[in-house]
Amino acid sequence: MDSKTLLGYMPKYYVNSKVISNLNTTNAKELTIFKAKIESTLNQFFTDTTDTMIERWEAEFGILSNTNLTLTQRRNKVLAKIRGRGVSTISAIKSIAQSYVDTVNVIENNPDYSFLLDLVSSSGFPYILSDLYSSVEEMKPAHLKANYKMTSKTCDSLTIRTFLLCGEEIMVYPYQTREIETNGKINIALGQSQGAEIITISPKGAI
């Protein structure tokens, strides 16, 4: 919010008023603060955006608060708890894992009484995955073993540059005649990374 926006709601004869200008400047600052507080309050109602109320979310789901963790890690723990509630299914386990990585694929191995969680992340695995392991253990059937495969994909741009270093040296020896005229055509095409040529032009009759 700014003073010009507030002025737009007022009659035009206030445009040159210093009193109104000062009032609008002050009101704009207060309204900006007020708007930020409203947005902050609204953010506390959602797991992905909560910050000041993260401890209430943790208490709601029986999670021990750990201030040594980042806010993102604490949010993920709460989100994993929410997604882990209900019947144990492949989709439920997959939903829990998606709180920590970008892509999840659950591969069943019924003869071996296990399943594989194929986890793919484009930003590495910065979070504490022990929380993921614990959440999956709580959710999965007791007779099944959870195995993990982790793949970290990075998308970086790589620029490779190369150049050719060429050089020429042309030497013209002095001669008694004041005017020297030379005609010729030199074609140079080098493909190696470094190259050099020395061309010596001597007047006719010079040794």
The string of pLDDT tens digits covering residues 119-135 is 888 777 766 677 788 87
Rounded to the nearest integer, the mean pLDDT of the chain is 78
Residue-by-residue DSSP string for 40-83:
HHHHTTSTTT--TTHHHHHHHTTPPP-TTS-HHHHHHHHHHHHH
- Phi and psi dihedrals of 161, rounded to 5? -120, 145
Q: What's the pLDDT at 172? A: 64
Six-digit token string for 43? 């953010």
pLDDT for the residue numbered 37 = 93
Task: Report CA-CA distances (Å) from 14 to 17, 24, 26, 131.
Answer: 5, 11, 16, 60
Cα–Cα dist 130/38, whole Å: 35
Read off the pLDDT of each residue in 46-54 and give the average, rounded to a whole number: 89
Write down all domains in the chain, each with its CATH number in brackets. 3-43 (no CATH), 65-78+86-152 (3.30.300)
| pTM recorded for the entire structure | 0.42
